[in-house]
Chains A and B, each alone.
Chain A
Amino acid sequence: MPASVCDTGEMTSVKPLLASSTESDVETSVGIVTERPWNVIVWNDPVTPMTVVVVVFRRIFGYSNNKCTQLMLTVHHEGRAVVWSGQRERAEAYCVKLQVSGLQATVEQDA
């Protein structure tokens, strides 16, 4: 059973879940297969105005102005930022929206 991943627009990480069961006096652990989340990455470029990055984040993800500004500054100073994590299909859809808005964006699976 795949573990559910956060799909609320918040950045999350998914850790492997362990379910334990006890049979007689022997405890066994059953590993549950989980899928690592997919990250949407936005990359820095030397021409895009900062205000454009902020309004694109707000429009696409609906984040607060503060969060959009923080993400924009992370992109600016660190060269890239993870702007969303979750299911692959939604990550790709967000990536497409960002590219359509002219930002350099890619998806990658969480390490």
Chain B
Amino acid sequence: MAGKLFVRRRDGRVEVRVNDTGRMMLREFFVHVVAGERDGEHEWHVALNAPINPSSDVDDPLSTLARQSDIASNAELSLMTSNAQFLSDAEAWAWLSTLQVALRSTAIVHGILSDEKLETCPPEVLEEIRTMQQFLFDLSACF
């Protein structure tokens, strides 16, 4: 994948210049976030439900609900637009948020909580993380 993967156009839309392989990867990340939010048994579910107030035994249910619905909404919007060539600002932001959620969930489930752990993680995990980071680098440059 050469060149920028995402480009902000003059009309405000974000052009997606990702090839078919890249789109398949993105779609897979989005699917995992949707599944992780909906399925309590999914390996990402715990990572998606970090405490808001660690000093309290139970988080405010309204805050928790807001988070769950927002994460799911972003991931669903990302999934729905995963084949689009041009994204609106809101759609591009949903992609960025969902990708970032996927990145951190991947790191958490593999116990990558420090730079040392990142350097010593299995090559296939590191490659997946680097791929997500590359998408995020280019997409964040549009904001």
User: Is there contact, CB below 8 Å, between A100 and B97?
Assistant: yes
Mask of B102-118 contacts with A, CB within 8 angstroms, 1/0:
11101100001111011
Of residues 89 through 108 on chain A, the ones whose CB sits less than 8 Å from some CB of chain B are 92-93, 95-97, 99-104, 106-108
User: Is there contact, CB below 8 Å, between A99 and B52?
Assistant: yes
User: Is there contact, CB below 8 Å, between B63 and A95?
Assistant: yes
Contacts of A49 in B (CB 8 A): 133, 136-137, 140
User: Is there contact, CB below 8 Å, between B67 and A55?
Assistant: no
User: Is there contact, CB below 8 Å, between B96 and A47?
Assistant: no
> Given the known A-B contacts A59-B93, A106-B52, A108-B53, are A47 and B112 also in contact in the complex, defined by CB atoms under 8 Å?
yes
A48 to B100, CA, bound (A): 7
Contacts of B112 in A (CB 8 A): 46-47
The size of the chain A interface, using a CB distance under 8 A, is: 27
User: Is there contact, CB below 8 Å, between B107 and A46?
Assistant: yes
User: Is there contact, CB below 8 Å, between B103 and A48?
Assistant: yes
Residue ranges of A at the interface with B (Cβ–Cβ < 8 Å): 45-49, 51-52, 54-56, 58-59, 92-93, 95-97, 99-104, 106-109
Residue ranges of B at the interface with A (Cβ–Cβ < 8 Å): 50-55, 60, 63, 66-67, 70-71, 74, 93, 96-104, 106-107, 112-115, 117-118, 129, 133, 136-137, 140-141, 143
Having A47-B106, A49-B140, A102-B102, one finds 12 other A-B pairs with CB under 8 Å, namely A45-B107, A46-B117, A47-B103, A47-B129, A49-B136, A51-B140, A52-B136, A92-B52, A92-B53, A100-B70, A104-B104, A106-B53
